[in-house]
């Protein structure tokens, strides 16, 4: 139940699979049955060319009505931000993103509106009653 991913600069990492993702990947595999590549080229001997993947992304982006500022990295950024909003430990996000340094992952810790609300609630709970019954002291 793991997926071996080869990323930029031939960096390899192993990611856990969920049952639903495994089922989706099995459906994709049935379209080509390549033993080596999840997204193979038409000849099945190499991976899908970058230009083909880029063209598919642009077509999907346009079909969804997103503007050109929405890029593949936007998906990665959204994924990391959503995990943080759900309370996932930043070190786990670091592993999932394949960052060697936690500093690279920390760029995703910007305060989104839901995180601000969560922080406001936490601070409210922490400081509740702190100043009740204390008038100005004259002394």
Q: In b/e form, how buried is each residue of 118-135, taking b as 16+ CB within 10 angstroms?
A: eeeeeeeeeeeeeeeeee
CA angle (97 as vertex; 93, 100 as ends), nearest 5 = 95
For the segment 67-111, what is each residue's pLDDT rounded down to a tens digit?
Answer: 999 999 899 888 888 888 888 888 999 988 888 898 888 887 776
Taking the model in full, what pTM does it have? 0.66
Give the C-alpha distances (Å, rounded to integers) separating 18 from 15, 21, 24, 126.
10, 5, 10, 36
4 vs 6: CA distance, rounded Å: 7
SS3 state at 52:
helix
pLDDT of residue 117: 79
């Amino acid at each position: 139940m793991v997926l071996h991913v080869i990323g930029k600069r031939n960096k390899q990492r192993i990611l856990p699979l969920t049952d639903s993702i495994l089922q989706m990947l099995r459906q994709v595999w049935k379209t080509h049955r390549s033993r080596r590549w999840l997204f193979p080229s038409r000849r099945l001997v190499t991976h899908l060319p970058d230009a083909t993947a880029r063209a598919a992304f642009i077509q999907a982006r346009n079909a969804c009505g997103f503007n050109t500022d929405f890029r593949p990295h936007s998906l990665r950024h959204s994924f990391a931000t959503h995990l943080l909003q759900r309370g996932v430990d930043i070190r786990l996000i670091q592993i999932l993103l394949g960052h060697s340094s936690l500093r690279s992952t920390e760029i995703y810790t910007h305060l989104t509106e839901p995180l601000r609300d969560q922080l406001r609630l936490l601070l409210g709970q922490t400081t509740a009653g702190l100043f009740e019954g204390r008038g100005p002291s004259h002394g």
